[in-house]
Amino acid sequence: MARYCEYSDNELVDLLKSGDRLSFTEIYNRYWSLMYAQVYKMLRDEEETKDVIQEIFSNLWIKAGDIKSSHNLGGLLYAAARNKVLNILEKSRVRSDYAKSIAAFVTYTDPETLDKLDEKRLILIIEQEIQRLPPKMREIFELSRKDDLSHKEIAKRLNLSDQTVKKQVQNALKIIKPRINQMGLSMVILFIFR
């Protein structure tokens, strides 16, 4: 009796269509790493890639009866992966575009016309990022941005050099901005922090 690793893709598909679990296992073993490499190259996210691969193979098992034996199995799996990745990227782009449009609205609209709940939510997100800063950096940053003190005033109050204060504020912005940008709220930081 032939081992499954010796079967062609078409033979494995025929067995898969009849509900043969070992043929599914062989297809999985044969294509998992190749599919993973292709999807990861497009997404650059390990967990999301694993989720995509899991979904592709789950659908292969569930919809095995719909596969035509004449299909190129590798091509079929690659097409499924590409379509899934494109859907993910499109949803991500739509979310990002929506967040950017909200940020632009916040930036270019008179604050009094903003929906107060959205404004509070944005301020809360930024406040959470500020609270994650190291304690001394946070103190300096808050004195600069919330109390509107100059670097010289902060330096005098905290017995530091002007240069140290300036560097701490710059470092805080370097930490906060990328986090805000990741949330698609890049323009909001300009609105909140001038």
Contact predicate 113/71, CB 8 Å: no
CA distance 161 to 64: 70
Instruction: Indicate the domain borders of the chain.
Output: 7-93, 111-193
Answer yes or no: CATH 1.10.10.10 is held by domain 111-193. Answer: yes
Answer yes or no: CATH 1.10.1740.10 is held by domain 7-93. Answer: yes
Which pLDDT belongs to residue 21? Answer: 93
Full pLDDT tens readout for the chain, 194 residues:
568 999 999 899 999 999 999 999 999 999 999 999 988 888 888 998 999 999 999 999 999 988 876 668 888 898 888 888 888 877 776 555 545 555 554 454 444 444 444 556 666 777 777 888 888 988 988 888 777 788 889 999 999 998 998 898 888 888 777 666 555 444 444 444 44
- Separation in Å, CA 160 to CA 81, 133, 142, 154, 157: 56, 18, 15, 8, 8
pTM of this prediction? Answer: 0.49
User: Can you tell me whether residue 138 is helix, strand or coil?
Assistant: helix
Contact predicate 50/37, CB 8 Å: no
